[in-house]
Structure 1
Amino acid sequence: MTEPSSRQSYAFAFAMITSLFFMWGFVHNLDPILIPHLRRSFNLTVLQSALVDSAVFIAYFVMALPAGMLIRRVGYKWAMIAGLLLFAAGALLFLPAADTHRYAFFLGALFIIACGLAVLETAANPYIALLGRPERAVQRLNLAQSFNGLAATLAPIAGARLILVDGMPEAQLQAMPAAVRQATLAAVAASVKGPYLAIALVILVIAVVFYFLKMPALCSEPATQAGGALRRAFGRPAIRRAAIAQFFYVGAQVCVFSFFILYASQAAGLAQVAAADYLGWGCGLAFVGGRFAGTCLMKYIASARLLFAYALACMLLSAVAMFAGGLAGVAAVIGIAFFMSIMFPTIFALGIHGAGCDTEMGSSLIIMSIVGGAVLPLVFGYISDVTGKLQYGYAAPLLCFLVIAWFARTAARQQNPQAAMAPEGALQHV
């Protein structure tokens, strides 16, 4: 029987790590606010504005393997602290980026933030999955990721009011002399300084809490075995398939969220702040609601089967977003947010299931595949620019959800029917 002090230690560690899911979800979901904001400030095309996502998700590809090796060398706790410090440093870099009014500097600051997030996600996702009974890993990770979804609701609403503060008509802006227009756009760009300074301070406080936090020890191996663990992890078919699926899932999610404001503005004629409210109260609430609903449904429906059904629903809704337009198209995108909500944690947990002490490097491989968030938005932007209609860009996420359906179907067939295809709740011990 588990001692009360041990249960309290697990519960507090779970709560603190869940706070990380909220914080990285919050900063990620400011990106859809940054894209139209920077697009206006620097007069960017849709494809150029997609570099915001590229800067973020290339960092995951660069940092994921070093993060896994760092976890093996110093442990989960110190890796998380290192990730928090990188996160805070990147947020602070928004201040000089705004002062210099250079797009490249903003991209550099986002890259540093994302390096920190890559370390955090490489550590926090497997730690949550391993922090308790194995048969409840998918549910546990979906529950923690639900607070990431809560951030997806709050960040666009708050960010729109703090960052999208310039309501000046485009015609009035273009009528200004070049020097005045440049100064005005520089002042617009500076609206990011306050929010990102506040984020940096909060992250530093969380880092201090983690410094004093006692975290339950999980499986680890000496650092000298890291190379062997990477080869073993890559040799696991479940991890390889999960890495492929995660590449396409993150690409789809970034397309849906990052271009939502532009889509709602063009397809439904909504003002940017109103579109941001639809993003928060619509997509955000749908996303967090889908996470909590999915966690409950997994008590009765096998996680792989539920993932397959949700992927099919997302494919159908992507087609509606492409061809319907107007508020019907906006509603379809909100529906996508609901059904894609369980995908990241479910793919992750199914991928590392049974990996044992290869989990750290398996986690690194799956986190590396988040680079899909850098690639697929460029495809979305290219299709939109070439066709002249942003809504046709939803062909990119439609393809992504097809790949996820393949992963879910394969996972359903490959795993033990009693252990993996049975509902999560069916294996719980009372």
Structure 2
Amino acid sequence: MERNSLVKTKEGKNFLLPFILITSLFFLWGFAHSILDVLNKHFQDTMEITRTRSALIQAVVYGGYFIMALPAGNIIRRFGYRAGVLTGLVLYGIGALLFIPGGRIGSFEFFLFSLFVIGCGLTCLETAANPYVTVLGEPEGSERRLNLAQSFNGLGWICGPLVGGFFLFAGGGDVSTPYAIIGCIVLAVALIFFRVKLPEIEDSPTSHEKTETDKKGLWKEATFTFGLISLFLYVAAQTGINSFFINYATEAAGVSAHEASVWLSFGGMGLFMAGRMGGSWIMRAIRAEKVLTGCALGAAASMTAVILLPGKVGWYCLLLCFLCESVMFPTIFALALRKVGGHKKRASSFLIMSIVGGAVAPILMGYIADSSSMATGFIIPLSCFVVIAIYAARYGNIQKTNKI
């Protein structure tokens, strides 16, 4: 097999350079999301707010996905993938730099506004980058390509808690500096993308796909609509787990907040990144939907242990869940797009909109934790993983039926 065959078409077009450039963006939004998990606990301690109120941190970022997804899709359809990337980077950079005056004002509401701007920027980036990666080569390699690119998203998830834990827990609670640094880096990356031309790749469905799309329409394609629901639930589960990892570690396992942030970085997110890289390799031999089914069942089992066995055992199972959930987002995203024909950009907008699930789960889990216990709150991600397992198994059955 050729070295770069994953990003090559049968006609010989090589998309290695665009793939590398776009993959760098996955790191940036992974960092932005993962530092929120440390910020959550930091604001609970410094501003003396409840876990339910601190969950607004995730709610405003993921709420930005719901509000900005369709406008981002319109920008991409009208001006191309590159315009979507540039819009996202500029909004991300501005939102991060707003933390400088935010640190002086000391208002929780101002921080929420800054995070909302960041969320709108991340929406543009994900709306552009996720579908763009799926078309940088042959269609049958889309799941592997997206999992490989998302591996660098996992690297961002490692760095976020590490940097955030250092500045917020070990560095005297300095919330402005890490965001000022990342804001400058993001705007520098925007300048690079402004000067580099990315090839615009149009969706090119087969005649069969065109016929199916004309007959049923996007919303009657079951693999897309169920995939949309599954993606909503996955992001809800992932965000809920990440948001209250440090709370669970300190309350159920007796670990300090700073130590827990290091474990979240190297332990949880390390397994998360390893799972994505390994998942891309495994999918060369095993169909993506089968890998997804196994991972969803493993995540559900881990969550059951977290709820029933709070303490060290539950905490180890919580870490194990990061490995199980690693391949879920890119795999669900790619599978949901597989049968949408020439509607990838429009379908991608709706899939990115489903990321608003991350705004829902932390609030529900925070409410359950404040009313009952932190361990009980993890019943929310458990329910999500069960539905995802059903989607993956059903998708596999549809594929078998179509082959007969």
TM over 0.5: yes
Q: Please, which moves more after superposition, 22-31 or 212-221?
A: 212-221
Aligned to 1:16: 21
Output the amino acid matched with 1:406: I
Deviations along 1:20-54, whole A, 9 cap, x unmatched?
Answer: 00000011100011001111121111111111110
* SS of corresponding position for 2:240: helix
Aligned to 1:366: 351
Aligned to 2:121: 116
Aligned to 2:299: 314
Aligned to 2:224: 239
Which structure has the larger Rg? 1
Aligned to 1:134: 139
Deviation at 1:162, TM superposition (A): 1.5
* SS of corresponding position for 1:164: helix
Q: Distance in 2 between matches of 1:233 and 1:213?
A: 33
Q: Does the 8 A contact of 2:89 with 2:125 survive in 1? A: yes
Q: Does the 8 A contact of 1:286 with 1:337 survive in 2? A: yes
Q: Distance in 1 between matches of 2:11 and 2:397?
A: 39
TM-score between both structures, scaled by the size of structure 1: 0.86
Q: Distance in 2 between matches of 1:282 and 1:46?
A: 23
Indicate which of 325, 335, 339 corresponds to 2:310.
325
Aligned to 2:195: 212
Is structure 2 residue 168 aligned with structure 1 residue 163? yes
Deviation at 1:6, TM superposition (A): 4.7
Residue ranges of structure 1 left out of the alignment (5+ in a row): 168-187, 222-227, 422-430
Is structure 2 residue 198 aligned with structure 1 residue 193? no
Q: In the superposition, relative to structure 1, how do residues 300 and 417 fare at CA in structure 2: closer, same or farther (>3 Å)?
A: farther
Output the amino acid matched with 1:19: S
Aligned to 1:104: 109
Q: Does the 8 A contact of 1:233 with 1:361 survive in 2? A: no
Q: Please, which moves more after superposition, 348-357 or 115-124?
A: 348-357
Deviation at 1:2, TM superposition (A): 6.7
Deviation at 1:166, TM superposition (A): 6.2
Aligned to 1:411: 395
Q: In the superposition, relative to structure 1, how do residues 2 and 257 fare at CA in structure 2: closer, same or farther (>3 Å)?
A: closer
Deviation at 1:79, TM superposition (A): 1.1
Deviation at 1:237, TM superposition (A): 2.1
Q: Does the 8 A contact of 1:380 with 1:394 survive in 2? A: yes
Q: Distance in 1 between matches of 2:266 and 2:9?
A: 41
Deviation at 1:385, TM superposition (A): 1.1
Q: Does the 8 A contact of 1:92 with 1:196 survive in 2? A: yes
Q: Distance in 2 between matches of 1:104 and 1:249?
A: 27
Q: Does the 8 A contact of 2:236 with 2:358 survive in 1? A: yes
Is structure 2 residue 266 aligned with structure 1 residue 266? no
Q: Distance in 2 between matches of 1:3 and 1:324?
A: 52
Aligned to 2:364: 379
* SS of corresponding position for 2:343: helix
* SS of corresponding position for 1:29: helix
* SS of corresponding position for 1:300: coil
Deviation at 1:235, TM superposition (A): 3.5
Is structure 2 residue 14 aligned with structure 1 residue 30? no
Q: Distance in 2 between matches of 1:270 and 1:140?
A: 37
Aligned to 1:174: none
Q: Distance in 1 between matches of 2:91 and 2:27?
A: 17
Superposed counterparts of 1:352-363, under 5 Å: 352-363=337-348
Q: Does the 8 A contact of 1:219 with 1:356 survive in 2? A: no
Superposed counterparts of 1:268-287, under 5 Å: 268-287=253-272
Q: How many residues align?
A: 388
Q: Distance in 1 between matches of 2:20 and 2:171?
A: 38
Aligned to 2:61: 56
Output the amino acid matched with 2:275: G
Output the amino acid matched with 2:188: V
Q: Distance in 1 between matches of 2:400 and 2:73?
A: 28
Q: Does the 8 A contact of 1:233 with 1:239 survive in 2? A: yes
Indicate which of 70, 89, 92 corresponds to 2:75.
70
Superposed counterparts of 1:84-103, under 5 Å: 84-103=89-108
TM-score between both structures, scaled by the size of structure 2: 0.92
* SS of corresponding position for 2:175: helix
Deviations along 1:141-162, whole A, 9 cap, x unmatched?
Answer: 0000011111112221121011
Q: Distance in 1 between matches of 2:77 and 2:66?
A: 18
Deviation at 1:356, TM superposition (A): 3.0
Q: Please, which moves more after superposition, 405-414 or 78-87?
A: 405-414
Deviation at 1:220, TM superposition (A): 6.1
Q: Distance in 1 between matches of 2:309 and 2:349?
A: 39
Deviations along 1:87-144, whole A, 9 cap, x unmatched?
Answer: 0011011112111111111111111001000011011000000111100000000000
Deviation at 1:357, TM superposition (A): 2.4
Aligned to 2:210: none
Deviation at 1:233, TM superposition (A): 3.1
